[in-house]
Amino acid sequence: MTEQIHPSVNVLGAELAPCASDPVTGFFRNGCCDTGPQDTGGHTVCAVMTADFLRFSKASGNDLSTPRPEYGFAGLKPGDRWCLCAARFLEAYEAGQAPRVNLDATHRRALEIVGLDILRERSLALS
């Protein structure tokens, strides 16, 4: 079975750049925030992890920092880049805990949930 992927276009309308290869991120574990119909969580926002965001995410029920070897997941640490669910990013933004994002590596489907103005505000280019 071939997995269907939406066109790899970022929020700026250009080709989607890779997000991270160490650890390998993305719903399809291809290093990009590609998405498709199977990705019901919408893992489309390429974000740089911070200690504050990882604590927020864990407290909100999505522990990204604890290793889960049974899933081949080493756990994330500050500085790692990861494809976040757009809704989780927006939740963190509204709580004042949103990490920085790489606009070049954030899939345009994120715009269905998060406004471009918010993504630009949290852009790495501004840090």
Distance of alpha carbon 121 from alpha carbon 127, whole angstroms: 10
Instruction: Provide the 8-state DSSP code for 81.
Output: E
Which residue range is the domain that position 49 belongs to?
1-126
3-state secondary structure of 113: coil
CATH number of the domain encompassing residue 52: 3.30.56.110
| pTM, rounded to two decimals | 0.92
* DSSP3 helix / strand / coil % (the chain, rounded to 5): 30, 15, 55
pLDDT at residue number 73: 86
Structural domains counted in the chain: 1
pLDDT digits (tens, 9 = 90+) for 52-69: 999 999 999 999 999 999
pLDDT at residue number 126: 62
List, in sequence order, every residue forming a beta bridge with 101; answer none if it has no partner: 47, 123
pLDDT at residue number 4: 63
**What are the φ and ψ backbone dihedral angles of 85, each rounded to 5 degrees?**
-65, 135
pLDDT digits (tens, 9 = 90+) for 15-51: 999 999 988 999 999 999 999 999 999 999 999 999 9
Distance of alpha carbon 13 from alpha carbon 28, whole angstroms: 21
Burial state string for 90-106 with b = 16 or more CB within 10 A and e = fewer than 16: bbbbeeebbbbbbbbbb
